[in-house]
Amino acid sequence: MTNPPDVIRAAYAELIVTDLAAARWFYVDVLGLVVTAEETDALYLRAFEEYLHHSLVLRKGKTPALARLGYRVRDPRELDVAEKYYTELGVPVRRADPGATLGIGAAVRIQDPIGFPIEFFYDATHTERFTQHYHLQPANAISRLDHFNVTVPDVRSAYTYYTNLGFGASETIEDDEDNLYAAWLYRKSTVHDIALTGGDGPRLHHIAFSSHERTQVLHTCDMLGALRAENHIERGPGRHGVSNAFYLYLRDPDGHRIEIYTTDYYTGDPDNPTIRWDVHDNRRRSFWGHEVVPSWYAEASTVLDLDGNPVPISSPERRESLVSVGADGFGTALEGADEKGFKLGHQA
Residues that bind a second copy (CB under 8 A): 8-9, 30, 49, 51-52, 72, 74-75, 126, 128-139, 141, 143-144, 188-189, 212-215, 218-219, 221-228, 230-231, 233, 237-239, 241, 244, 246, 263, 265-266, 268-271, 273, 282-283, 287-290, 333-334, 337, 344-345, 347
The nearer residue to a second copy, 272 or 321, going by C-beta atoms, is 272
88 vs 288 by CB, closer to a second copy: 288
3-state secondary structure the chain: CCCCCCEEEEEEEEEEECCHHHHHHHHHHHCCCEEEEEECCEEEEECCCCCECCCEEEEECCCCEEEEEEEEECCCCHHHHHHHHHHHHCCCEEEECCCCCCCECCEEEEECCCCCEEEEECCECECCCCCCCHHHCCCCCCCEEEEEEEEECCHHHHHHHHHHCCCEEEEEEECCCCCEEEEEEECCCCCCCEEEEECCECEEEEEEEECCCHHHHHHHHHHHHHCCCHHHEEEEEEECCCCCCEEEEEECCCCCEEEEEECCCCCCCCCCCCEEEECCCCCCCCCCCCCCCHHHHHCCEEEECCCCCECCCECCCCCHHHHCECCCCCECCCCCHHHHCCCCCCEC
Q: Could you tell me the smallest distance in angstroms from the CB atom of residue 29 to a second copy?
A: 8
CB of 302 to a second copy, least distance (A): 25
Minimum Å distance from CB 140 to a second copy? 8
Please, which residue, 202 or 236, has the CB nearer to a second copy? 236
**Which residue's CB is nearer to a second copy, number 160 or number 263?**
263
Q: Which is nearer to a second copy, 94 or 129 (CB)?
A: 129
Nearest approach in angstroms of CB 231 to a second copy is 6
Least separation in angstroms between residue 41's CB and a second copy is 27
